[in-house]
Each structure stands twice: as structure tokens, then as C-alpha cells.
Amino acid sequence: MAVTLVEAAKLSQTNLQRGVVETFIQESSILDRIPLLQIEGNAYAYNEEATLPGVAFRSVNEAYTESTGTVNQKSESLVILGGDADVDKFIVRTRGNLNDQRATQTRMKVKAASYKFQDTFFNGDVAVDPKGFDGLKKRLTGAQVLDAATNGMGPVAGGHDFFDVLDTAIARVRGINGSNGAIYANAGVIARVKSSARRLGGVEMVREALTQKMIATYNGIPMLDPGQTAAGVDILPQTETQGTAAGTASSIYVVKFGQDEGDQAVTGLTNGGVQAYDLGELQEKPAYRTRIEFYCGMAVFGGKAAARIRGVLNA
């Protein structure tokens, strides 16, 4: 059974691991809610429905025509995300009265890792970084990708037309609701949605029971900003091109999260969850080392697990 990091934090066996997991939760609008399916080994193989078997009505004493469905065999591999944080013994000794220098560096390392996971969740491309995994931008195709408009459209300028597209995207993610899904957009677009919603309705601020964070919701579904990379670049940047809107558009993602392949949703994969190690003093230099590692991946178990709206303007 998959568990979220919120639940995993309660089961952490050391204060270091608990602190690291809680920092992931605080820093990530994905890792604070995506269920992580514990798997054996370094990959997860599963079958995806391709075509359903035939069925028919029959007369008395008439035989059925036998048929079987077909499946596509797929596999998702785990990747290794993490890093080492070294702090010189001199800094620990001379500046430890200000704050815990090792804790500060560990927290910064975890923040960088959470930003890396979030960026890969949307923008990952193994053709560019073979050590990562493919994100939703590359995985979503066909009817699960909608255009806001030929030349782009924003929440305020588009009004009802924009929210019609948003409602269509939500409808294409089967079974999504406020407890199992989220709408992801950059902070500027979310601000425009809230501004438009003050006139049209549908958006409210609530405190989530899961994370205790104050968030905006659209028709009960959380609207979240995945934030920025460690370099300060928006993960969902306003730099995409849609028709004549050259370099001024972005995307909105509607995502349903699930526990396993039976939920036909987006599920995280891991073997062992987030690991934190205090390696102590190094032999090669007078410094203390903390290592963070996360064997992770993601699977999109259904063709309607998520949807993307392209051409969203900050207008």
C-alpha cells in the first residue's frame, strides 16, 4: 500500500530522518500529497489496458463468440535523487552558537532535492537527463492536452471561456476530487484565477486537513504552485509559445493521485522512501557529512490520470 510522506514522517525511526521528511513536506506541493508505492527491486512492471474484450447479448442455446482484451506491458524504473552535505569541523565549533550549521546545510540540501523532484515531475525528459524520469509534459498526449485558445488566453481576459476550458480539463481526469487531486499552475496564473473568481465565483481559501496548509481551491480541488528550481526559475514558466503568444504562455496541469494501478492515477514509486544518514567525520578531511538519498520514480497508471492546458496567459 502506498503512503504519503506525511504518514511516513510519523513512522521515521530517527530524528534526522523525521526532520528531513518533514522538510520535504514543507517545501514541496507534490511530495506533501503524492502517495509513494513501495516496490521491490529497482523497477515496477505493470499492464495497461489497450482494448477491452467483446461482449454481446445471446439467444437461448446460442454460444458466445470468445474474445479477450489486450494489454500493453509497461515498466517504470527508480532513479536516485540526493546529495551530500559537508560542514567543516571549524564551522561547527566556531559558529554553532548561532545555529546548528549541519542542520542548516541539511535543510538546504533537502530543499534543493524537493525542487529537483518537482521540476522533473512536470518537465523531466530522459532524452535530456537520462538519470531522471519523464515528467507529465512529455507523457501527456492526445485528448489529455488542451489549448486554452489558439493564441493563448488568461483567466481574467478570458472570463467564462477560460473557466470552460479548465472545467473541460478537470472532466478529462476521471474521478478527480478535492481529496485525491490538484491543479498546478505558476503563482502568477493562480493570482489571476483568484482575481477572476472574485467576479465569477468557484474559488475559496481553505486549510487542508492533510498538510494543514492554507491553499486556494477551485470547485474544491487544491490550486498549487510547484514553485521554482534551485536556480530561481519557475517550474511552470511563463515562457511557452502558443500561436502569436511567443514566449508569454504557460501550462496548467490537472493531476489525480492514486495509491496503486487500480486507481488509474498518478502514483509515486519508491524503495525505502527518503533516507538520511549521518556519516560522521570524514577520513579525507576534517568535516562532518550528512547524506540524503531518495530512490524515487513515478507512474501514470491511466490514460486519464492527468491533463494539461497549454497557452495560459498571465492576463
Rounded to an integer, the average pLDDT of 302-313 is 95
Banded model confidence at residue 98, pLDDT cuts 50, 70, 90: low
Alpha-carbon separation of residue 141 from 40, 109, 237 (angstroms): 30, 34, 20
- pLDDT tens, 186-245? 999 999 998 887 777 778 777 777 677 788 899 899 999 999 998 999 999 999 999 999
Q: How far apart are CA 225 and CA 213, in angstroms?
A: 13
Q: Does domain 138-260+303-313 have CATH number 2.130.10?
A: no
What is the CATH number assigned to the segment(s) 5-47+73-134+273-296? 3.30.2400.20
Q: 93 and 303 in contact (C-beta within 8 Å)?
A: no
Give ranges for CATH 3.30.1930 in the chain.
138-260+303-313
Give ranges for CATH 3.30.2400.20 in the chain.
5-47+73-134+273-296
CB atoms closer than 10 angstroms to residue 67: 11
- pLDDT tens, 10-23? 666 677 777 777 77
Task: Output the CA torsion 295→301→303→309 (10° steps).
Answer: -40
Q: How far apart are CA 31 and CA 291, in angstroms?
A: 19
Query: pTM of the predicted model, to two decimals?
Result: 0.89
